[in-house]
Amino acid sequence: IHELYIYKCEDRVRLESSSYLQLPSSARDTSVHISSTSSSIGAFSRSSKEAVYVHTLLCSTKLTQNVDLLSLLQWKEHPEMIQEALNRVLRLNGEELVKFLQDVLDALFSMFSTEDGNSTTHSGLVFHVLVSIFSLLEDSKFEHFKPVMDAYIKGHFAAALVYKGLLSSVQHCADWVSSTDKQEPIQKCFRSLEYIFKFIIQSRLLFSRATGGQYEDSFKKDLYSVFTALNKMLAMSSDVILPTQVALLHSISAVYEQLTDVLPVLKITKLATAMLESLPRELPPQLTQAKLTAIRNMV
C-alpha cells in the first residue's frame, strides 16, 4: 500500500512538470521538508487530511507465488512430496491453473509415466488432476482457453508414450462403473473424453513418427479394448449409472472425430454403430434423448 500526497495549485501558470515533480510524493520522500500538518511550497499547498492510497498486486504468467502450484512445478526437487502436491493442485482455483497451463501440463505428463511408457505409482492421481483441468474448459469462464490447450497439444506437447496410460485410465473408468456408487469422477472423465483423446492421438502420432509406426497392432488392440469396455457399460440397466451413460453419449462424437487421424472412416463407423447397438432395447427417456443427441452429433 502506498500513500501519495495531494497538492493544490491556484496558479494555472505554475502547473508545469518542472515545478511539481520535485515535490515530496509521500512521507518517505525527504528530499524536501514539509510540515506534517499543513504547508506549502511555492504555489503548491498540501493538507495532511488529503492523500491517495494505491494498492498494487503483482501478477505474472511465467512466475507463480502460489505455494501449492510451486510444489507441483518443482516436483523433481521433492519427489517424496508428489502425492501431497497433486492433492493440493486439486484444491486450486481454475484461474491459477489456466494461467500456467503449459507448465502444469508438462509437469503432470512427466509424472504420469516413465520414460519407457510404463505407469508410475502416481499415474492414477495424475489422471484425476488432468481430468479436473480438462473439465475446467467446459466452464463458460474458461472456455476461451480451449485454443490455448489446442495450441499446446499441436505445438508443445511431446510425451510420445503417454497414450498407453491414458487408454488404460479410460478403460479403468469404464470397468469401474458397475462396482462403485461414486459415479462423479467417472462422469468427469467421460465428459472430458474429447481432450483425453486429443492427447492420446497426438501422443500416438508422435510415437509413430519417431519409430516408423512400431506397435501399431498393440495400439489398436488397446483402443478397441477401451470401446469394448465402454459398450459393456452402456449395455447395463441401472439408475445409478444412468447419468454416467448419458455423459458418455454426449461426448463420444468428439472422440470419433479425433480417431480419423489413426483409423479409417469405415472402422470408426463400425465402432460408432457397435456402441449404439450395445444400448438396451428399452431405454428410459433420459437415455433415449442422449442416444438421439449422439446420433445427431455423429452425422
Task: Please answer whether residues 80 and 26 qualify as being in contact, where contact means their C-beta atoms are separated by less than 8 angstroms.
Answer: no
**Confidence category of residue 9, pLDDT binned at 50, 70, 90:** confident
Residues 6 or more apart whose CB falls under 8 angstroms from that of 233 comprise 174, 177, 178, 241, 244, 245, 248
pLDDT of residue 67: 85
pLDDT at 34 over 60: no
Residue with cell 488392440: 221
pLDDT tens digits, 198-237? 999 999 999 999 999 899 999 999 999 999 999 999 999 9
CA distance 49 to 208: 72
% of the chain with per-residue pLDDT over 90: 66
CA distance 162 to 119: 9
pLDDT tens digits, 233-280? 999 999 999 999 999 999 999 999 999 999 999 999 999 999 999 999
% of the chain with per-residue pLDDT over 70: 94
- Which carries the bigger pLDDT value, residue 37 or residue 173? 173
3-class SS letters over the chain: CEEEECCEECCHHHCCHHHHCCCCCCCCCCCCCCCCCEEEECCEEEECCCEEEECCCCCCCCCCCCHHHHHHHCHHHCHHHHHHHHHHHHCCCHHHHHHCHHHHHHHHHHHHECCCCCECCCHHHHHHHHHHHHHHCCCCCCHHHHHHHHHHHHHCCCCCCHHHHHHHHHHHHHHHHHHCCCCHHHHHHHHCHHHHHHHHHHHHHHHHHHHCCCCHHHHHHHHHHHHHHHHHHHCCCCCCCHHHHHHHHHHHHHHHHHHCCCCCHHHHHHHHHHHHHCCCCCCCHHHHHHHHHHHHHHC
Rounded to an integer, the average pLDDT of 139-160 is 94
Q: What torsion do the CA atoms of 158, 162, 163, 168 make, to the nearest 10 degrees?
A: -170
pTM of the model: 0.79
Residues 6 or more apart whose CB falls under 8 angstroms from that of 252 comprise 193, 230, 272, 275, 294
pLDDT at 58 over 90: no
pLDDT tens digits, 62-107? 667 788 888 899 999 988 999 999 999 998 888 888 989 999 999 9
Instruction: Please give the grid coordinates belonging to residue 225.
Output: 479394448
pLDDT at 60 over 70: no
CA distance 160 to 260: 19
pLDDT of residue 14: 74
pLDDT of residue 27: 78
pLDDT of residue 49: 82
Which among 79, 122, 72 is positioned nearest to 96, based on CA atoms?
A: 72
Q: What torsion do the CA atoms of 187, 188, 194, 198 make, to the nearest 10 degrees?
A: -130
